[in-house]
Chains A and B, each alone.
Chain A
Amino acid sequence: MSVSTLTPVLSAQWDATRSWTLATYEAGGGYAGLRHAFTQEPAAVLATVKDSGLRGRGGAGFPTGLKWSFLPAPDGGPRYLVVNADESEPGTCKDVPLMMATPQYLIEGSIITSYAIGCHHAFIYVRGEVLHVYRRLLRAVEEAYAAGYLGKNIMGTGYDLDITVHAGAGAYICGEETALLDSLEGLRGQPRLKPPFPAVEGLYARPTVVNNVESIASVPAIVMGGSDWFRTMGTEKSAGFGLFSLSGHVVRPGQYEAPLGITLRELLDLAGGIREGHELKFWTPGGSSTPLFTAEHLDVPLDYESVGAAGSMLGTRALQIFDETTCVVRAVTRWMEFYAHESCGKCTPCREGTYWLKAVLRRIEAGQGSMEDLDVLLDTCDNILGRAFCALGDGATSPVTSALKHFRAEFEQHITAGACPLDPAASALFGYPPRDAGRLAGQMAGTVQA
């Protein structure tokens, strides 16, 4: 496996000096895609994206061009593009570096997409916590206006577009597209009932396309390179390239832009392997909401179909890698704490289920679980999965059920031994503060922590 496996497109300019400026972006060929798009009818641009086989990079992998084509015929009223830059899934860290390094890629993609779907006002909804990204986007939009890529009569084409960058307030659920729309409208971020789907009644009840940052950023290259070029990468049903985010116990964590269908084994080669002297224990193929894989799955091609067939989901290609020093109970408990904290509270299964799972997991981790607890964990997951209102609840069950599937013995060890068999400090990549025994003890004594 060599570096030639990589297909840097989105990340091609990340190492350029001041890569985030418009000047650098243009010097590297930026905005050629837009110029090319403007030579075509919007429908032709849409057709190219549709033919390319680009699938949504936000997790679900829905064909992007197809989504755009769901918009009803123009009725004279506004229609919107909303870029989902809320990136909050544990492990997922591709959109943030992309927007930090080359925000113009996203702006150009947004202009082409808006042109293709007949939108004159696009929104970029950025995760609230990443203030630096927000600032960088604001500046990028400013630069694009100044250069005449945004505003009225863009490049003399008669086409108008405004882009508004909006910062969220820091809620994972606001990445769910309908919750995002509510949040963008100034309401509490909670998923909406579907139908109507955003394509029909989205932002302000108008036809709306919601796409992930990476999906939109991929558009300029597709328009420039053509759908056939895009299809030379990846697999038949999972075309193109994507950012693979390796984190955890690897020698060189980071973004690896590669064709879909690459395997973890290949990626690990590029990343220098698992940290010295350790071996792979488990990993997530697409973020914490995708069922865990183990070393068994090193050769599963990382495309939508193969990962699905192996029992997980490609998700956002967020590969969190854990070596044998990691306690799976501990990892799952931390994830569950995240879900319990981020559950929006709308529906019973997720709101109450994650609270319960968290409580039981914490108890098991502290060595105070019982064997019945394992059944409760599985049955509660069963009562959440497919019963929750949105995919957050479903996703919350993935780590639990997959961990119990692959590592049930480790859960049982915690119960029988009355303690965690592993040393958490050993799994840390850096000096680990002494375990906060007081917190757990306090909890067991009856402190309520929701």
Chain B
Amino acid sequence: MTITTPKQAGGGVAPSNLVTFQIDELEVSVPKGTLVIRAAEQVGIQIPRFCDHPLLEPAGACRQCLVDVSMPDREGNLRPMPKPQASCTLTVAPGMVVKTQRTSAMADKAQHGVMELLLINHPLDCPVCDKGGECPLQNQAMSNGRSTSRFVDIKRTYPKPISISTEILLDRERCVLCQRCTRFQEQIAGDPFIALQDRGARSQIGLFSADVLGFGGDVPAGPAALDESGRPFASYFSGNTIQICPVGALTNASYRFRSRPFDLVSTPGIGEHDSCGSAIRIDHRRGAVLRRMAGDDASVNEEWITDKDRFAFTWQSAPDRIATPLVRDETTGQLRSASWAEALDVAAAGLAAATTAGGGHGVGVLPGGRLTLEDSYAYAKFARAVLGTNDVDQRVRPHSAEEDAFLGHAVAGRTVGGAGSVTFTDLEQAPTVLLVALEAEEEAGVTYLRLRKGVLAGRTAVFSVAPLASRGLDRISGTLVAAAPGTEPEVLDAITGSAPLGQLRTVADGLTTAGSVILVGERLAAVPGGFTAVLRLAERTGARLAWIPRRAGERGGVETGALPGLLPGGRPVSDARARVDVAAAWDVPSLPTTAGRTTTEILRAARKGKLSALVVGGVELADLPDPAKAVRAIEKVGFVVSLEVRASAVTELADVVLPVAPPTEKAGTYLNWEGRPRPFPQALASTALADHRALDALAAAMGAELGLRTITAVHAEIDQLGAWDGARIDAPVESAAEPTELAPGQAVLASWHLLLDAGRLQDGERFLAGTAKRTVARTSAATATAAGLTDGELVRVSSAHGSVTVRLAVTAMPDLVVWLPTNAPDCAVRTSLRADAGDVVQLAPADPAGDDVVSTDSAGSDNNDEVSA
């Protein structure tokens, strides 16, 4: 493992593919097919433009980029073209002579003319426009426009603004109709939720109308057709339109009128909401983040980010931020503010006593899955070197021992450029991509866009092993390989070259093609035999495999050792040489040899008094497979130290709370799912400590030297450890579970997280929340009929522990399966049902006498707790 960004392979172009031409008297050679406007950029000549965008298909609509072009005829005589040409649609040709506004009066006049025309109907309200100061129209009007207008007639006006979603407002007067926004939605996101409407000077970007625009594929069935704000469902990527709008026509509801670009300080960052590691830019002023923009990283997110990465940042400065360390007062039993010194002392004493060395039953460590590489490394080291335990597990979600083996065997050590690695670019080039337990759009936003790019270019065919074809899958022309929850191993095993001609055979043959990829999501951990079958499939077909977890820190945690069976670098805990290696580097006599417990095992041990203390990082108990049991574990265990940004269910029960810094207030590195280090600097000045620093201090208070006070120290140590060249953990061998018998009215639960849901990292962003999908339950028509359910009506889904009541959307999917969103505001299956994908639930029409509202209720019958544990 190394945290230096790998060098890109040099992309040299063979001279035979170069075209030599002239631009403003400069001779330039560029690859064949290059647009004149791009070629000009390469030699530093800026041609003004509006509709042009390097990642969108050329449109040639605004006509701002006109240049003067001459072409050699057959005899080689230069012939000027009669009209100026749009440089954004013209590809270079050998011997072409281009004169831009710098050398041609004709081009200059043409550009001035277009600019004057663009401004006649423009409101010129720059002083109150969000874009003022960073506006291509403003800038180019200064550089390539007339200083005064000859227009004295009446401007076309519109009421302003109109909201096109809760998140985005449109000022049609400012719009220059470049169609970047609509082209983005159509070409990149595949969600044409806005379109050009009307004509002539009344042309305008118009609202989504399901009747007119369609949904670009299937219709989100039932109430899901409307977003949370009651509009036809729009797009998870809509925020990108605000950024690429070359004027201030599209503005964000929360940022509108809040700031001037020149008052903002920009710091590069990395999106913390998924494992893609999208480059972002954090714009802040006087210590407060005002907005986030997509960063430009061709190898990762190109120039796009999800709306979640863009808009969900208020959680970091939410009112429930923990400002000072807290300790539980011995007399009142309440948490009270404490100094760092006091809190560290209390924590150190409690932990020291809880370790086996200190006479306790030991300490379990739950770092959470959202950490930077540096923080995660600190937890992994703190557990082993200070607490003397392998009981450390970052997973706050369903997980399994099979997954431990899978991660250690097939994921650890796979960094970008290494053998078997998969990158974003590989996805776009892959002939076949098979998704297993992964809804790319919901769980790894920009990954979805890359897949779509490959599909649209005609290179990639996507298949998905899932219970239903999501709207996202439809928009990448993906093929569903239907699998009811739990049957995935069976389906995966059936993908063989000897399968009868048909879908499974197509997938098998596709995966055998060089460059094909299997992407597997974290949810497969809930399916016994799933990872085993995936590995067999990869082996059988030769397809490369990548694991895409949801949380930003989980891929890094596999490398840092934030798992019970792995030490830094993916070294197996069970490997004596690995332990010796790491012990030497850490300057400790030895590392614990006892196999570590997984999250569930740690919580169970805590509940049963087999652990004396817990160190808990950013963990949301509601995300755990069984939140109720988790709460009891925290309640029962003798001593809890919580390192948190904001008050949570854990901090409420903790004995000591150490406040730690959210991502904007610290520097760090995420390792994205590719295994690519995504370092970011600290954006806001802050006194908050990163987890690694807090742990370093805590270790010191316990009399141990963690050596991870500074980020440089962490890096030095990680680099010194280097990669592991020894054997990896053995591949898992686990068989699939026998299908459960279903009684009448029962169904197997299918579920995944939607991009926008009740996650705490979306707190405080109501405009974003308005664009989330509405909650529905999905079943097949036959299952609905059998259970007496009606499409569009309320259905009550229940377990022994509770129920949720939501609207039903009949969907094409396997029978006897019901899908629910994992953590919607009105449907949190783990909390309400204490069930997860693969569990059996009961379906019934909602009690007609009951309230006709979507609701969740949770019965707290804990009696049979340990039976099911």
**Chain B at the A interface: SS class:** loop
Write out the residue numbers on chain A whose beta carbons fall within 8 Å of the beta carbon of B63.
Answer: 347-349, 387-389
Interface residues of B in 117-174 (CB under 8 A from A): 117-118, 120-121, 150-151, 153-157
Q: Is B226 an interface residue (CB 8 A)?
A: no
Known contacts A345-B201, A387-B110: A352-B61 contact under CB 8 Å: no
- Whether B83 and A386, one on each chain, are in contact in the complex, defined by CB atoms closer than 8 angstroms, is yes
Q: Is A219 an interface residue (CB 8 A)?
A: no
Convert A158-174 into 0s and 1s, putting 1 for each residue whose CB lies closer than 8 angstroms to a CB of B.
Answer: 00000000000001010
Convert B253-272 into 0s and 1s, putting 1 for each residue whose CB lies closer than 8 angstroms to a CB of A.
Answer: 00000000000000000000
Q: Is A354 an interface residue (CB 8 A)?
A: yes
Interface residues of A in 146-205 (CB under 8 A from B): 171, 173, 188, 190, 193
Rounded to whole angstroms, the CA-CA distance of A351 and B178 in the bound complex is 12
- Whether B114 and A383, one on each chain, are in contact in the complex, defined by CB atoms closer than 8 angstroms, is yes
Rounded to whole angstroms, the CA-CA distance of A388 and B85 in the bound complex is 10
- Whether A345 and B117, one on each chain, are in contact in the complex, defined by CB atoms closer than 8 angstroms, is no
- Whether A448 and B154, one on each chain, are in contact in the complex, defined by CB atoms closer than 8 angstroms, is yes
- Whether B60 and A383, one on each chain, are in contact in the complex, defined by CB atoms closer than 8 angstroms, is no
- Whether B196 and A188, one on each chain, are in contact in the complex, defined by CB atoms closer than 8 angstroms, is yes
Cross-chain contact of B200 among A190, A341, A372 (Cβ < 8 A): A341
Rounded to whole angstroms, the CA-CA distance of A15 and B150 in the bound complex is 55
Rounded to whole angstroms, the CA-CA distance of A171 and B113 in the bound complex is 27
Choose, from A130-138, A355-363, A399-407, A426-434, the stretch at the interface.
A355-363
Cross-chain contact of A347 among B58, B62, B113, B155 (Cβ < 8 A): B62
Convert B561-585 into 0s and 1s, putting 1 for each residue whose CB lies closer than 8 angstroms to a CB of A.
Answer: 0000000000000000000000000
- Whether A356 and B153, one on each chain, are in contact in the complex, defined by CB atoms closer than 8 angstroms, is yes
- Whether B113 and A349, one on each chain, are in contact in the complex, defined by CB atoms closer than 8 angstroms, is yes
A386 nearest CB neighbor, chain B only = B83
Determine how close the nearest CB of chain A comes to the CB of B32; give it in whole angstroms.
15
Convert A236-260 into 0s and 1s, putting 1 for each residue whose CB lies closer than 8 angstroms to a CB of B.
Answer: 0000000000000000000000000
Interface size, B (range): 35 or more
Rounded to whole angstroms, the CA-CA distance of A376 and B153 in the bound complex is 12
Q: Is A142 an interface residue (CB 8 A)?
A: no
Q: Is B177 an interface residue (CB 8 A)?
A: yes
Write out the residue numbers on chain B whose beta carbons fall within 8 Å of the beta carbon of A354.
Answer: 200-201
Q: Is B66 an interface residue (CB 8 A)?
A: yes
- Whether A356 and B151, one on each chain, are in contact in the complex, defined by CB atoms closer than 8 angstroms, is yes
Write out the residue numbers on chain B whose beta carbons fall within 8 Å of the beta carbon of A351.
Answer: 177, 200-201, 203
Write out the residue numbers on chain A whose beta carbons fall within 8 Å of the beta carbon of B120.
Answer: 352, 355-356
- Whether B200 and A387, one on each chain, are in contact in the complex, defined by CB atoms closer than 8 angstroms, is no
Give the residue among A171, A344, A348, A351 with the most B Cβ atoms within 10 A: A348
Cross-chain contact of A193 among B58, B110, B154, B157 (Cβ < 8 A): B58
- Whether B199 and A450, one on each chain, are in contact in the complex, defined by CB atoms closer than 8 angstroms, is no
A446 nearest CB neighbor, chain B only = B154
Rounded to whole angstroms, the CA-CA distance of A218 and B83 in the bound complex is 33
- Whether B117 and A342, one on each chain, are in contact in the complex, defined by CB atoms closer than 8 angstroms, is no
Write out the residue numbers on chain A whose beta carbons fall within 8 Å of the beta carbon of B157.
Answer: 448
Rounded to whole angstroms, the CA-CA distance of A352 and B117 in the bound complex is 6
Q: Is A353 an interface residue (CB 8 A)?
A: yes
Rounded to whole angstroms, the CA-CA distance of A345 and B117 in the bound complex is 13
Determine how close the nearest CB of chain A comes to the CB of B64; give it in whole angstroms.
7
Rounded to whole angstroms, the CA-CA distance of A182 and B117 in the bound complex is 27
Give the residue among B176, B196, B199 with the most A Cβ atoms within 10 A: B199
- Whether A344 and B61, one on each chain, are in contact in the complex, defined by CB atoms closer than 8 angstroms, is no
- Whether A348 and B114, one on each chain, are in contact in the complex, defined by CB atoms closer than 8 angstroms, is yes
Write out the residue numbers on chain B whose beta carbons fall within 8 Å of the beta carbon of A446.
Answer: 154
Write out the residue numbers on chain B whose beta carbons fall within 8 Å of the beta carbon of A386.
Answer: 82-84
Convert A324-352 into 0s and 1s, putting 1 for each residue whose CB lies closer than 8 angstroms to a CB of B.
Answer: 00000000000000001111111111011
Rounded to whole angstroms, the CA-CA distance of A206 and B117 in the bound complex is 36
B150 nearest CB neighbor, chain A only = A376
- Whether A343 and B82, one on each chain, are in contact in the complex, defined by CB atoms closer than 8 angstroms, is no
Known contacts A359-B154, A389-B63, A448-B154: A382-B203 contact under CB 8 Å: no
Write out the residue numbers on chain B whose beta carbons fall within 8 Å of the beta carbon of A372.
Answer: 150
Cross-chain contact of A355 among B109, B156, B179 (Cβ < 8 A): B156
Known contacts A349-B63, A359-B153, A363-B153: A383-B116 contact under CB 8 Å: yes
Cross-chain contact of A360 among B62, B153, B176, B201 (Cβ < 8 A): B153
Known contacts A359-B153, A359-B154: A352-B84 contact under CB 8 Å: no
Write out the residue numbers on chain A whose beta carbons fall within 8 Å of the beta carbon of B121.
Answer: 352, 355
Q: Please give 7 more A-B residue pairs, beta carbons under 8 A apart, in addition to A188-B196, A344-B199, A347-B61.
A: A340-B200, A341-B200, A345-B198, A345-B202, A355-B120, A356-B153, A448-B156
Q: List 24 A-B contacts (CB under 8 A).
A: A193-B89, A340-B200, A341-B200, A343-B199, A343-B200, A348-B61, A348-B63, A349-B63, A349-B113, A349-B117, A352-B118, A353-B117, A354-B200, A356-B117, A359-B153, A359-B154, A360-B153, A380-B113, A386-B83, A387-B110, A387-B113, A447-B154, A448-B155, A448-B157
Interface, chain A (partner B; CB < 8 A): 171, 173, 188, 190, 193, 340-349, 351-356, 359-360, 363, 372, 376, 379-380, 382-383, 386-389, 446-448, 450
